[in-house]
A and B are shown apart, each in its own frame.
Chain A
């Protein structure tokens, strides 16, 4: 029974491989990686590098979704984080000072942590629906970011800051290492400790978990804090990439792409069982698709159409109506095979109970 396509990651990975195959047939240079000055370049490397912000946000979103929640504010948190970091660097005497940059990044992440804690407070303590609770910050967050930058797009020239998004550590982009570090850290914490299974328990049945003594409130709160911190780091990477804090554009729609990545990775939006590996694959699918769309000469502004189609297909495949349809098809085939034998869904254990029918 353990056929390979029954594995929950089969379809995500197959889709990713399919996309890569299509790309490499359509443009042979897709797979080619060149070495320049001891640094690797190429379409695949770009995908790894550019996916870093989405990767971080999607990881946080996975944890939040596992608790039956959702975090719509990640884009706004990114904007705030970028604004904080750049404003600190901009006001510093020496923007090229490594200490200044580290301090700025640290402060940005700290502010993001506070914003995540705020979301967690609304959801876990006040018991407000997650969509609505995080909507508040989604709305107000960009305003805060604009206030911090004074309504302008703050730009800086700081070599250490630019390094975060554009620099290379040995042969690969530094941003890629941030992704890997985040994935490893999250995966280790969730799976090596009991946090993962407790999070799933809370997501599947919050009341049963509470009665079992699980600190559901703390776990939910923690999930939003993690999401905030990761979004903060993503905001720093984004700002570093464009060397500016753009409160309106930073992280715009990223919450939607992150949710899409989580769903593509096979984690249900109803909470509970989650897959970090699935989310990683989901992010890579999105990034590869984005790269494909760009390659096809479609302006990036139009790419949402493709993602809309992907979302519709994925949610329809997950819906019970379509699944029932498939199941009925499969059963029809099964029924026809043993020339009209009894349908297979009768529990034989229950058959003997027929006997005791009194008139």
Chain B
């Protein structure tokens, strides 16, 4: 991947910061989300804000844009101390945000989305012709030739994002916050976006860039601020911070903790028998091109690929969460028709979704109820699990996975992310699966819980459980999986043996493999 780090104009350093945040503290009930964080943003720079999920990146952004009120600290914009009570306030002060899910109105035209609240008016009446002409001008400034009268929803996300940036420019923003803008874009779209970002930087706009794609951060940023657990780790110029140093600063000590597990990946798997699951040409139009996958007993198969590469789509199709329109699946060598989660569960396949909150836990139910939900669903509503049986089961899993607090009657919504994830793991293990599919089971949870979950996966696979493991942390995939299926652009591009590849090799494979001969 060509990491073109543009030379930093030395004069920029001398420019006073347009945004100065000092000693920012934000508290939520029971959580100190930001703890005395300092952050500076200068005109004409792209400044990356890095940190794992839960590090406080989005809290910092929301504190800056007036979504959250700060409990301590000061925010100074262009030399003037400010307190924003809403995003509208922040926008008026020249701070605009473009979010991952585009926050525009899909039911309105592109031009209107750009100009909403700033329409050209004559005597209070909107002049649509002038308004759309104005919008067109702003779109052209970002080299985007689309009809401003077309509906926003008719355009792909990448275009919508540029439209959102156009909107920010209409507001004459001095500060542009890009919150994970690239997570659902393909490479060409990222290039287009970055071209726009470089133009804006040249024009002196201060750009705060949040992304979990390290390569992109190195490609576009001038400076990096790292947060961890709500505290500032430090601010660095990009050329002073090598990638491995950045990763270490982001994740702290855990790298060493988890090294011990790496043996799992080198375990020999007997692939002579019948696979637990064999999928041939499984796919769905618009989601995933037909792909093959095999998982043998005791094997951990990792799926590597960026967000939106098709890794989640593949496992959802296998599980019947979405209905495949091509291919077939056999379980233990027998043809299986899996078009709903129930079919999958009947074939002893379990799936833990990447979206813990929306698709995993049932927030208002207790730990015990959440754990037995899977078994109960399997048994049907008429055969309720007896209290004694439930207690025994729940206590066993709480102990085995070290769920804290160890209270079966605690409401799951009140548990930390890591413990919620353990509850979900318990739900699926309780159904005694033969294939366990885990989609990002360690995302956004604390280090201890992460290690517990990885250890458990390793342990279970050693005892013969087949596992499909997805993580956007490639190190984690390399550590746990014996075999890695690599996906890109909604296509499976190949498989690698994890004992024959290292992190750099995997990144290279993921980025470049098959680029030349792709039809």
Asked whether any CB of A lies within 8 Å of a CB of B in the complex, the reply is: yes
A354-B231 contact, Cβ under 8 Å, with A345-B29, A347-B30? yes
A142 within 8 A of B: no
How close is B500's CB to chain A, nearest CB, in angstroms? 35
Give B249's nearest chain A residue, CB to CB: A358
A351 to B27 Cα, complex, angstroms = 12
A226 to B180 Cα, complex, angstroms = 46
A126 within 8 A of B: no
B376 within 8 A of A: yes
Give A199's nearest chain B residue, CB to CB: B381
**Complex contact A212–B427 (CB within 8 A):** yes
How close is B443's CB to chain A, nearest CB, in angstroms? 16
What mask results when residues 198 to 215 of chain A are scored 1 for a CB within 8 Å of chain B, else 0? 101100110111111111
A204 to B359 Cα, complex, angstroms = 11
B residues in contact with A359, CB < 8 Å = 234
B residues in contact with A173, CB < 8 Å = none
B407 within 8 A of A: no
B residues in contact with A357, CB < 8 Å = 35-36, 231-233
What mask results when residues 202 to 237 of chain A are scored 1 for a CB within 8 Å of chain B, else 0? 001101111111110001000000000000000000
Contact of B364 among A200, A212, A354 (CB under 8 A): A200
Which segment, of B142-150, B191-199, B382-390, B503-511, faces chain A?
A: B382-390
A73 to B379 Cα, complex, angstroms = 33
B271 within 8 A of A: no
A residues in contact with B234, CB < 8 Å = 358-359
Contact of B381 among A195, A210, A273, A350 (CB under 8 A): A195
How close is B59's CB to chain A, nearest CB, in angstroms? 13
**Complex contact B364–A194 (CB within 8 A):** no
- Interface residue count on the A side (C-beta < 8 Å): 33
Q: How large is the interface on B (under 10, 10 to 19, 20 to 34, 35 or more residues)?
A: 35 or more
A211-B364 contact, Cβ under 8 Å, with A194-B384, A195-B381? no
Instruction: Tell me the residues in window 3-52 of chain B with beta carbons closer than 8 Å to chain A beta carbons.
Output: 27, 29-32, 35-36
A197 within 8 A of B: yes
**Complex contact B30–A201 (CB within 8 A):** no
A346 within 8 A of B: yes
How close is A186's CB to chain B, nearest CB, in angstroms? 14
**Complex contact B384–A192 (CB within 8 A):** yes
Give A350's nearest chain B residue, CB to CB: B32
A343 to B360 Cα, complex, angstroms = 33
**Complex contact A193–B382 (CB within 8 A):** yes
The interface centre, meaning the residue of B31, B377, B382 with most chain A CB atoms within 10 A of its CB, is B377
**Complex contact A345–B27 (CB within 8 A):** yes
A198 to B378 Cα, complex, angstroms = 11
A233 to B231 Cα, complex, angstroms = 62
How close is B217's CB to chain A, nearest CB, in angstroms? 19
A212 to B379 Cα, complex, angstroms = 12
How close is A277's CB to chain B, nearest CB, in angstroms? 18
**Complex contact A354–B31 (CB within 8 A):** no
B362 within 8 A of A: yes
B221 within 8 A of A: no
**Complex contact A345–B30 (CB within 8 A):** yes
How close is A79's CB to chain B, nearest CB, in angstroms? 32
B361 within 8 A of A: yes
B328 within 8 A of A: no
**Complex contact A213–B341 (CB within 8 A):** yes
Give B71's nearest chain A residue, CB to CB: A343
Contact of A197 among B30, B319, B363, B365 (CB under 8 A): B365
Give B316's nearest chain A residue, CB to CB: A211
**Complex contact B233–A356 (CB within 8 A):** yes
B369 within 8 A of A: yes
**Complex contact B232–A213 (CB within 8 A):** no
A219 to B229 Cα, complex, angstroms = 42
B394 within 8 A of A: no
**Complex contact A214–B358 (CB within 8 A):** no
A194-B230 contact, Cβ under 8 Å, with A204-B362, A273-B364, A350-B32? no
What mask results when residues 300 to 315 of chain A are scored 1 for a CB within 8 Å of chain B, else 0? 0000000000000000
Give B28's nearest chain A residue, CB to CB: A345
A272 within 8 A of B: yes
A197 to B35 Cα, complex, angstroms = 40
A residues in contact with B35, CB < 8 Å = 350, 353-354, 357
B131 within 8 A of A: no
29 contacts between A and B (CB under 8 A): A194-B376, A194-B385, A200-B365, A201-B365, A201-B373, A204-B365, A205-B358, A205-B362, A205-B363, A208-B360, A208-B361, A210-B321, A211-B319, A211-B341, A211-B351, A211-B359, A212-B341, A212-B377, A212-B427, A213-B342, A213-B378, A214-B377, A215-B342, A345-B29, A347-B31, A353-B229, A353-B230, A358-B233, A359-B234
Top 4 A-B pairs, shortest CB-CB distance: A213-B377, A194-B384, A213-B345, A214-B377
| Interface contacts beyond A194-B379, A354-B36: sample of 15 additional A-B pairs, CB < 8 Å, sorted by A | A193-B383, A194-B376, A201-B373, A204-B362, A208-B353, A208-B359, A211-B360, A212-B373, A213-B377, A273-B364, A347-B30, A350-B31, A350-B32, A350-B230, A354-B231
